[in-house]
C-alpha cells in the first residue's frame, strides 16, 4: 500500500521542484529583458539604497573569474543536471522547493550565458539590482541564495529528503499491517 503513497509523494515533489524552477526562470528572464530594454544609461532608486542599474557580468558572483565565462556555463549545466538526477527520489516539498529554486537560479543565469552577447556559452549575465553596500545582482542570484538558505535550514533541522512511510502508534509501518497471512 505504501507504493502509491510514495509515487504520489514523488510526483508532488517533482511538481514542486519543476514549478519552483520554471517560475524562477520565467521571473528572472522577464526581469532581465525588462532591465536590458529600459535601464541602459539610467539609475533608478526604488527604495532607500536599492537601485535599478544595468550591468553585464561575464564572471560569477562578485564578478569573480571574468575570464572564465565558458567554465561557468559548464558549471551551471552540471549543477542543473546533477540536481535533476539527485532529486529524482526527493519526496519532501521543502527540499523540492529549495532544489527547484537553485535549479531555476542556475538556469536563469545559464540562459544569459547561452543567448546574450558576446556569444553562445560566453554570454554576460544581466545584473540590475544594486545596493550601496553590495555588488550588483539579479533575481536568479536571489533565487539561488534563497534555495541554498532553505536547504541549509532543512539540513540543520535534519529534515530528510524523502518522507518515511507513515507508521501506526506501535511504530509498525501502516503498509506492513494490511496483508498478513491471516488477512488482518
Residue 61's pLDDT band, with cuts at 50, 70 and 90, is confident
pLDDT of residue 74: 95
127 is catalytic: yes
pLDDT band at 171 (very low <50, low <70, confident <90, very high): low
Give residue 166's pLDDT band: very low, low, confident or very high (50, 70, 90).
Answer: low
- What's the pLDDT band for 169 if we cut at 50, 70, 90? low
C-alpha span between 72 and 113 (Å, rounded): 8
Confidence band of 65 (pLDDT split at 50, 70, 90): confident
pLDDT cut 70: percent of the chain above it: 85
Could you read off the pLDDT of 2-60 as tens digits, one per residue? 444 467 788 899 999 999 999 999 999 999 999 999 999 999 999 889 999 999 999 98
Does the pTM of the predicted model rise above 0.75? yes
Q: Which of 17, 154, 3, 15 is nearest to 80 (CA)?
A: 17
Q: Which of 28, 67, 112, 127 is catalytic?
A: 127
Active site residue 141: yes
Mean pLDDT (the chain, rounded): 88
d(CA 126, CA 122): 13
- Catalytic site residue from 141, 170, 176, 182: 141
Separation in Å, CA 75 to CA 5, 103, 114, 149: 35, 12, 13, 20
Q: Is the pLDDT of residue 176 over 50?
A: no
Amino acid at each position: 500500500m505504501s507504493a502509491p503513497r510514495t509515487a504520489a509523494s514523488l510526483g508532488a515533489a517533482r511538481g514542486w521542484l519543476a514549478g519552483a524552477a520554471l517560475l524562477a526562470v520565467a521571473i528572472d528572464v522577464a526581469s532581465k529583458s525588462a532591465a536590458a530594454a529600459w535601464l541602459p544609461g539610467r539609475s533608478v532608486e526604488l527604495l532607500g539604497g536599492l537601485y535599478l542599474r544595468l550591468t553585464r557580468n561575464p564572471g560569477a558572483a562578485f564578478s569573480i573569474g571574468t575570464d572564465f565565462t565558458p567554465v561557468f556555463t559548464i558549471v551551471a549545466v552540471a549543477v542543473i543536471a546533477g540536481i535533476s538526477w539527485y532529486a529524482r527520489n526527493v519526496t519532501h516539498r521543502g527540499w523540492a522547493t529549495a532544489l527547484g529554486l537553485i535549479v531555476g537560479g542556475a538556469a536563469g543565469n545559464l540562459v544569459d550565458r547561452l543567448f546574450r552577447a558576446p556569444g553562445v556559452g560566453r554570454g554576460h549575465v544581466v545584473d540590475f539590482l544594486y545596493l550601496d553596500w553590495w555588488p550588483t545582482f539579479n533575481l536568479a542570484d536571489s533565487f539561488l541564495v534563497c534555495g541554498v538558505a532553505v536547504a541549509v535550514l532543512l539540513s540543520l533541522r535534519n529534515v530528510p529528503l524523502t518522507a518515511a512511510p507513515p507508521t501506526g502508534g506501535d511504530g509498525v509501518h501502516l503498509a506492513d499491517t494490511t496483508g498478513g497471512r491471516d488477512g488482518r
